[in-house]
């Protein structure tokens, strides 16, 4: 172990050089569509264009039509940061839903839907297709298994004095898991159930783009780990770091000239530490301590590299401290940090108390502690695999604490404030209700929020008397995007006026 850094230094330099040359933007998001969300058109549009914050690669698009039929659309025309989908001619009168799914440079799928109507809204539209929970479970489990096999196969081969049998078995296990993980990744990209593995589409998508390159590099690392000797193990270590830094949220975060090498070094350090645990157990069970001596000398440097690279990546991904407990990504990170603290406490006990005891002839306490470390590694890898489904806070668009819309219909006008304008619990406040420019008091208002594209709502609240300003109620809005806001104001005993507008809700943080 103590000589491993010298063996892999050329590979670390190569990783940094190759990856620092890459450049890409952050997590992609939709900024506009043409026709716009909720638009009512006089006639059927020939095409629909989606505009994103960065170039994306289309995965699949389906059009749910007013007659209840669903059509798979042909591949779109791709612009610099847009996709244009050709629509069937002469769409029927009523509401239509285009559900789309793309992948951004970080390799993770981004999905959404655009609702538009021809002639008039029909109120009947199919909900957008969601990903299969069985597919997501399979993707998570296969990711955990692949990470475990890769770390144990590559790291175990670098430990001095260890037999090569165990790392080679782990490499074979990883090569068996790799195609399973690739299949589930393709299913997740296309939002398909596991039964669709018999089709070629999931496999093609899994092998495309930067995620496909990462899978190829992972396979190369596992093949290299099958070879005996430290040179092959060093090559496998460099390939494992390169694979991790090729794609993913952390690797594609700006500035990539720093983040890609940081991710590579983090994975390399984790591999050197975790991969050595099982070979150490084998050696200690056979009464050998040569590998333990080398490991105890080198592990402080490995842990320093692990903590430094991991801390830098976490700071970039979070963006702001409160994201650690207010976002799904941050809460997963908290779980991982808690488990890592336990692992570090065990590592410290091993290094300063149990290792000298083992070198003195009593290795049983150290063997037990290493076994506990291995048990803790699995939930750590489980937390890492969960990040597949949780975009980092730095990729979420910032938003104000309060957003306001001025609504008007003929002579009637009112101002609506939404706080916070993010998915989750929001509060509405109505102010400045005017008729013909004059304030009107003591008028009941019925408030309605709905998201027809997803079959959500309408959610209603009634303000019995609006005098200057009034609490418009609290609503639980589970999804971001555009919501339809309707107000029905009783302007007299015999007349009610309805106002409607689209309000945009940002993703939850």
Token representation of residue 454? 């997803």
CB of 317 within 8 A of CB of 197? no
Mean pLDDT (the chain, rounded): 83
State the average pLDDT over residues 177-190.
Answer: 93
Tell me the C-alpha distance between 509 and 507, whole Å: 6
pLDDT in tens, 352-391: 999 999 888 888 999 999 999 999 999 999 999 998 888 7
State the chain's maximal CA–CA distance in angstroms.
95
Q: What are 307-356's pLDDT values in tens digits?
A: 999 999 988 888 788 888 878 888 999 999 999 999 999 989 988 999 99
Q: What is the pLDDT of residue 287?
A: 86
Q: Report the range out of 120-129, 338-347, 409-418, 484-493 with the highest average pLDDT.
A: 338-347
Tell me the CA distances in angstroms from 45 to 49, 89, 246, 290, one per residue in order: 11, 8, 40, 74
pLDDT for residue 210 is more than 60: yes
- Its pTM stands at 0.71
**How many residues are there in the chain?**
509
- d(Cα 45, Cα 33) in Å, to the nearest integer? 13
pLDDT band at 21 (very low <50, low <70, confident <90, very high): very low
Strand residues in 320-366 grouped as ranges (E): none
Provide, rounded to the nearest whole percent, the portion of the chain with pLDDT above 70. Answer: 88
Tell me the pLDDT band of 162, cut-offs 50, 70 and 90.
low
Reduced to 3 states, what is the DSSP secondary structure of residue 274? Answer: helix
pLDDT tens by residue, 262-294: 999 999 999 999 998 998 888 888 888 888 888
Range in 1-15, 103-117, 170-184, 452-466 with the lowest mean pLDDT: 1-15
pLDDT band at 50 (very low <50, low <70, confident <90, very high): very high
* Cα–Cα nearest to 45, from 34, 31, 37, 58: 34
**Greatest mean pLDDT among 20-29, 127-136, 143-152, 160-169:** 143-152
In the chain, the domains with their CATH numbers are 4-25+132-395 (no CATH), 35-118 (2.60.40.1220), 403-505 (2.60.40.1930)
Contact 97, 38 (CB under 8 A): no
Q: What single-letter DSSP state applies at residue 422?
A: B
In this prediction, residues 36-61 reach a mean pLDDT of 88
pLDDT band, very low/low/confident/very high, at 22 (cuts 50, 70, 90) = very low
> How does strand 109-118 pair with strand 40-41?
parallel
Q: In which region does residue 286 sit, left (phi positive, over 0), alpha (psi from -120 to 50) or beta (all else)?
A: alpha
Peptide bond just before 458 cis, omega within 30 deg: yes
How is residue 430 written in tokens?
Answer: 């109505």
What residues contact residue 324 under an 8 Å CB cut-off, 6+ apart? 318, 330, 331, 333, 334
pLDDT band at 114 (very low <50, low <70, confident <90, very high): confident
Is 467 or 437 the better-scoring residue by pLDDT? 437
The token duo for 276 is 């050595």
Confidence of residue 23 (pLDDT cuts 50, 70, 90): very low
Instruction: Reply yes or no on whether the pLDDT at 469 is more than 70.
Output: no
Is the pLDDT at 13 greater than 50, yes or no?
Answer: no
Q: How far is CA 119 from CA 87, 92, 430, 486, 502, in A?
A: 16, 9, 31, 20, 18
- Rounded-to-5 percentages of helix, strand, coil across the chain: 45, 25, 30
């Amino acid at each position: 172990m103590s000589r491993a850094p010298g063996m892999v230094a050329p590979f670390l330099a190569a990783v940094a050089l190759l990856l620092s040359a890459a450049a890409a933007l952050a997590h992609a998001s939709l900024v506009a569509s043409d026709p716009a969300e909720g638009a009512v058109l006089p006639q059927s549009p020939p095409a629909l264009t989606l505009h994103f914050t960065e170039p994306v690669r289309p995965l699949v698009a389906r059009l749910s039509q007013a007659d209840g039929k669903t059509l798979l659309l042909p591949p779109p025309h791709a612009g610099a940061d847009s996709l244009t989908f050709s629509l069937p001619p002469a769409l029927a009168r009523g509401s239509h839903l285009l559900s789309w799914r793309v992948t951004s440079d970080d390799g993770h799928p981004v999905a959404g839907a655009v609702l538009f109507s021809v002639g008039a809204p029909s109120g009947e539209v199919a909900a957008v297709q969601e990903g299969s929970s069985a597919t997501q479970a399979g993707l998570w489990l296969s990711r955990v298994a692949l990470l475990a096999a890769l770390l144990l196969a590559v790291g175990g081969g670098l430990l001095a004095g260890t037999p090569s049998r165990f790392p080679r078995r782990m490499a074979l296990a990883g090569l068996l898991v790799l195609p399973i993980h690739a299949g589930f990744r393709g299913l997740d990209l296309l939002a398909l159930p596991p039964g669709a593995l018999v089709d070629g589409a999931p496999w093609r998508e899994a092998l495309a783009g930067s995620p496909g390159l990462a899978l190829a590099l992972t396979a190369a690392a596992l093949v290299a780990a099958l070879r005996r000797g430290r040179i092959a193990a060093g090559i496998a270590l460099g390939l494992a770091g390169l694979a991790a830094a090729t794609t993913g949220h952390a690797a594609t975060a700006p500035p990539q000239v720093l983040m890609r090498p940081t991710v590579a070094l983090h994975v390399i350090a984790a591999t050197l530490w975790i991969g050595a645990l099982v070979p150490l157990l084998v050696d200690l069970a056979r009464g050998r301590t040569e590998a333990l001596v080398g490991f105890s000398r080198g592990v402080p440097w490995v842990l320093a590299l692990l903590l430094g690279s991991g801390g830098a990546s976490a700071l970039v991904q979070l963006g702001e401290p409160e994201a650690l407990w207010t976002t799904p990504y941050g809460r997963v990170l908290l779980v991982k940090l808690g488990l890592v603290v336990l692992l570090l406490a065990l590592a410290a006990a091993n290094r300063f108390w149990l290792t000298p005891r083992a070198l003195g002839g009593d290795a049983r306490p150290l063997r037990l502690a290493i076994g506990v470390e291995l048990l803790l590694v699995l939930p750590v890898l489980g937390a890492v695999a969960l990040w597949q489904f949780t975009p980092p806070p730095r990729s979420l668009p910032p938003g104000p604490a309060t957003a306001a819309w001025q609504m008007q219909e003929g002579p009637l006008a009112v101002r609506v404030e939404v706080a916070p304008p993010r998915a989750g619990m929001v509060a509405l406040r109505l102010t400045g209700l005017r008729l013909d420019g004059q304030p009107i008091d003591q008028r009941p208002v019925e408030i309605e929020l709905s998201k027809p594209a997803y079959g959500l709502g309408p959610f209603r609240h009634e303000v019995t008397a609006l005098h200057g300003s009034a609490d418009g109620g609290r609503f639980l809005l589970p999804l971001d995007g555009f919501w339809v806001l309707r107000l029905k104001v009783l302007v007299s005993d015999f007349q009610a006026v309805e106002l409607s507008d689209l309000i945009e809700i940002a993703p939850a943080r």
